[in-house]
């Protein structure tokens, strides 16, 4: 009797395979500080504003990630990680945070 060939079916689960973005900073400290100063004086171009927003977003997500790993789930610092990072990244620089910025952190690391 001839053997039947069985084809293996590969499933494409794109939801399971997320492409993570890099948390590495692309700007030098000097360029970053210059962009912050120009944004505070409201003399920033659209391109530079987009670069600065992405860097601030990376800093925010990295802050959340470190607090999440460093402290246990029952810790007060872990429970207040979103507010702590929001204050340290956006509020102290007197910037308004983007809407749902914490949801964008899913692109950088998997919960």
Q: How far apart are the first and last CA of the chain?
A: 52
Task: Answer whether 0.85 is exceeded by the pTM.
Answer: no
Residue 1 domain flag: no
Residue 18 domain flag: no
3-state helix, strand, coil in the chain (%, to 5): 50, 0, 50
Residue 56 domain flag: yes
Number of domains the chain contains: 1
Q: What is the pLDDT of residues 47-88, one digit of tens each?
A: 999 999 999 999 999 999 899 888 888 888 888 889 999 999
Residue 57 domain flag: yes
Residue 21 domain flag: no
Q: Range of 53's domain?
A: 29-107
Residue 22 domain flag: no
Query: CB of 29 within 8 A of CB of 13?
Result: no
């Amino acid at each position: 009797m001839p053997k039947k060939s069985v084809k293996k079916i590969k499933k494409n689960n794109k939801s399971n395979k997320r492409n993570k973005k890099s948390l590495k900073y692309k700007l030098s400290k000097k360029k970053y500080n210059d962009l912050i100063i120009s944004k505070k004086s409201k003399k920033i171009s659209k391109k530079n504003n987009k670069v600065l927003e992405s860097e601030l977003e990376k800093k925010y997500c990295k802050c959340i990630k470190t607090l999440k790993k460093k402290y246990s789930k029952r810790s007060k610092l872990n429970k207040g990680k979103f507010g702590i990072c929001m204050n340290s990244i956006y509020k102290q620089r007197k910037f308004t945070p983007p809407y749902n910025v914490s949801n964008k952190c899913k692109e950088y690391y998997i919960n």
